[in-house]
Amino acid sequence: MSAEPAMRAAETAGESIVLRVSRYLPGRDAEPVPRDYEVPLREEWSVLDGLNHVKDVLDGSLAYRWSCRMGICGSCGMTVNGEPRLTCGTFLSEFAPGPVVVEPLRGFAVIRDLVVDIEPFLGKLASVTPWLVRNGAEPPPDAEFAQTPEQLGAYKQFSMCINCMLCYSACPVYALDEDFLGPAAIALAQRYNLDSRDMGAAARFDVLAAAGGVWDCTYVGECSAACPKGVDPAGAIQQYKLTAAMETVRRFLLPKGAR
């Protein structure tokens, strides 16, 4: 539906592919039920285009989230043939002749069909102080904090997170223990820790090094493999483990006043 001229142009051989979509409506279904929909197989159609076709033409009741269709808003993460993917950047032709199995992101409670509950993430994100902390030190009036490209480079990668939740879905630790802060929240905490303008590392330590923090990570590494934006949350967590270990030792050895 996003590109009507394209629909006109791309009437090709009439090939099709089956989307096997997980359907779940609380009150009606005890558990998700797969349902098959036949959609046109077009080279330029993403899985999301297929879902939009289902919703527009075949079954308006299908529920899923989407918005930007260009891999930046982070809405449309789903499990496609077993892997966590952004459906707007995953193409039907990759799975020909099909079927393409579309399920909600794993590791999260399912609200309906392909929609999962990401509220727990919002809480975790807020808990790691994901903003610039200055501890009362005023920013320069009418000027920017100077930050060299090198200093920017130190945290830039971790600032690229789109909160799409694919990393949580790939993380077996999170699946087994929902109290785990998880890859994206820790990477974003580290994004601020490494920012030359920030002074909040001590406050974040109390959350990151506590129960549910970095030490829960067993380094499966799949979060970084799933990340569509190259953030490498697994790297962020391992780096912070080193930081946390040093900080713990430092706090143990130094008297309170000298910290």
Partner 1 sequence: MTAPDDTAARYRRPVPVLWWTGRRPYLLFMIREFSSVFVAWSVVYLLLLVRAVAAGPAAYRGFMELSASWWMLALNVAALALTLFHTITWFVVTPKAVAVRVLGVRLPAFMVAGPLYTAWIAVSAFVVWLLVR
Partner 2 sequence: MSASTDVLIVGGGGAGLRAAIAVAETDPRLRVAIVSKVYPMRSHTVSAEGGAAGVIGIGDTLDEHAYDTVSGGDWLCDQEAVELFVREAPRELLRLEHWGCPWSREGDGRVAVRPFGGMKRLRTWFAADKTGFHLLHTLFQTSLSHPGVERYDEWFVTRLLVDDGRVRGVVAIDITTGRVETITARAVILTTGGCGKVFPFTTNAGIKTGDGMALAYRAGAPLKDMEFVQYHPTGLPFTGILITEAARAEGGWLLNKDGYRYLQDYDLGTPSPTPVLRSMELGPRDRLSQAFVHEVEKGRAVDSPYGPVVHLDLRHLGARKIDAKIPFVRELCRDYENIDPVTDLVPVRPVVHYMMGGVHTDIDGATPVQGLFAAGETACVSINGANRLGSNSLPELLVFGARAGVAAVEHCARAAPAGEPAALAADERRRIETLRRRENGRDSLAAVRTGMQRALEDGAGIYRSADSLLKAGETLRELQERYARLGVRDHSTTFNTELIALLELGNMLDVAETIVRCALLREESRGAHQRTDFPRRDDRRFLANSLVYRQDDGPGRVEYLPVRITRWPPAERVYGR
| Chain contacts with partner 2 (rule: CB under 8 A) | 1-6, 9-10, 25-28, 44, 55-57, 59-75, 89, 111-113, 115, 118, 122, 125-126, 129-132, 139, 142-149, 151-152, 155-156, 159-163, 188, 192, 195, 197-198
Of the candidates 5, 14, 60, 82, which one interacts with partner 1 according to CB under 8 A? 82
The nearer residue to partner 2, 4 or 82, going by C-beta atoms, is: 4
- Within its chain, how far is the Cα of 202 from the centroid? 26
Binding status of residue 195 toward partner 1 by CB under 8 A: no
Binding status of residue 222 toward partner 1 by CB under 8 A: yes
Binding status of residue 28 toward partner 1 by CB under 8 A: yes
Judge contact between 41 and 15, C-beta under 8 A.
yes
Collapse the DSSP code of 23 into the 3-class scheme (helix H, G, I; strand E, B; otherwise coil) and give the result.
strand
The set of residues, in sequence order, having a beta carbon less than 8 Å from that of 173 and lying 6+ positions away, is 180, 216, 217, 218, 220
Binding status of residue 111 toward partner 1 by CB under 8 A: yes
Q: Tell me the chain's radius of gyration from C-alpha atoms.
A: 22
Residue 110's binding partner out of partner 2, partner 1, none, with CB under 5 to 8 Å set by partner kind: partner 1
Binding status of residue 10 toward partner 1 by CB under 8 A: no
Return the exposure string of 38-59: e unless at least 16 CB atoms fall within 10 Å of the residue's CB, then b: ebbbbeebbbbbbbbbbbeeee
Phi, psi (deg, nearest 5) at residue 224: -70, -35
Closest CA to 210 of 174, 239, 248, 176: 248
Binding status of residue 101 toward partner 1 by CB under 8 A: no
Binding status of residue 150 toward partner 1 by CB under 8 A: yes
Judge contact between 117 and 127, C-beta under 8 A.
no
Binding status of residue 85 toward partner 1 by CB under 8 A: no
Collapse the DSSP code of 81 into the 3-class scheme (helix H, G, I; strand E, B; otherwise coil) and give the result.
coil
The nearer residue to partner 2, 173 or 204, going by C-beta atoms, is: 204
Residue 241's binding partner out of partner 1, partner 2, none, with CB under 5 to 8 Å set by partner kind: partner 1
The nearer residue to partner 2, 5 or 82, going by C-beta atoms, is: 5
Collapse the DSSP code of 133 into the 3-class scheme (helix H, G, I; strand E, B; otherwise coil) and give the result.
coil
Residues binding partner 1 (CB under 8 A): 24-29, 31-32, 82, 106, 109-111, 117, 148-151, 153-154, 172, 175-176, 218-222, 224-225, 232, 234-235, 238-239, 241-242
